Amino acid sequence: MTKPLANASPLPRMTGAQWMNRGNAVYLEGRAHIDGVDHLAAEMDATWGAGRLRLLVDAEWREKFDRQRVKFNKAVWEGDLEDVERETARMASAWRKLHGLALEANAAPLAPQVWETALDDGRVVAIVRDMVDVQHVTSSGRRVDVYSLEEIGRIIQAFPEISKAKATFPGATVIAARGPDDPLRSIELDDSIPF
């Protein structure tokens, strides 16, 4: 974001995610920063497991990471573009810091035979090719429900209404599902974070 000219009056601070409505250029700039952090978070979940990385570091770093998540979410939903730029950079640093700490601690990344996704209720679903690959699932204090591809096939066969949209609209993909709000959004933190 460019700085205003010395004699120009600065833009008013935006609240209530109004930065998203400042025009296409401002929206795209903010979205580009957020997308970068979202991509990094997806890479970390693919590497370490859904929600597992923060559990592989000590409580002090887990708390710092969670505090940064609060600031990141607040910037996205209530801040101005400068807030979004600053907190996305800090959030990316926080992800990288936890990744480095997990590597230093010799924590095991997710095995390539396991795919995970987080559900809105906090559970993690791990999908494996077959029951032989169950040995590669790591819970690390999370509730992990494991399904083999054969079990998923049985579920789809037993409950065809689950996949009715796919049958009705070939090639359709689920692009969004709404769950409860992130509980960290309601937390106010005013302390500084070392990211």
Burial class of 136 by CB neighbour count within 10 A (0 to 12, 13 to 18, 19+): middle
Distance CA 122, CA 111 (A): 21
Q: Determine the pLDDT at residue 7.
A: 38
Per-residue pLDDT tens, the chain, 195 aa: give them. Answer: 333 333 333 444 444 577 887 788 888 999 999 999 999 998 998 889 888 899 999 999 999 999 999 999 999 998 899 999 999 999 999 999 999 999 999 998 877 788 888 888 888 999 988 887 788 888 888 889 999 988 888 888 887 777 777 778 777 776 654 544 555 655 666 666 666
Q: Judge whether 87 and 75 are in contact, CB under 8 Å.
A: yes
Strands 144-148 and 124-128: parallel
Q: Determine the pLDDT at residue 82.
A: 93
Q: Determine the pLDDT at residue 194.
A: 61
Q: Determine the pLDDT at residue 153.
A: 87
Q: Determine the pLDDT at residue 36.
A: 95
Distance CA 10, CA 81 (A): 13
Q: Determine the pLDDT at residue 4.
A: 35
Tokens of 104: 């230093």
Q: Determine the pLDDT at residue 191.
A: 62
Q: What pTM was estimated for this model as a whole?
A: 0.61
CA 142, 175, 47, 104: dihedral to nearest 10 degrees?
Answer: -70
Strands 144-148 and 114-118: unpaired
Domain ranges of the chain: 18-108, 114-168
Distance CA 93, CA 127 (A): 29
Other residues' Cβ atoms within 10 Å of the Cβ of residue 125: 15
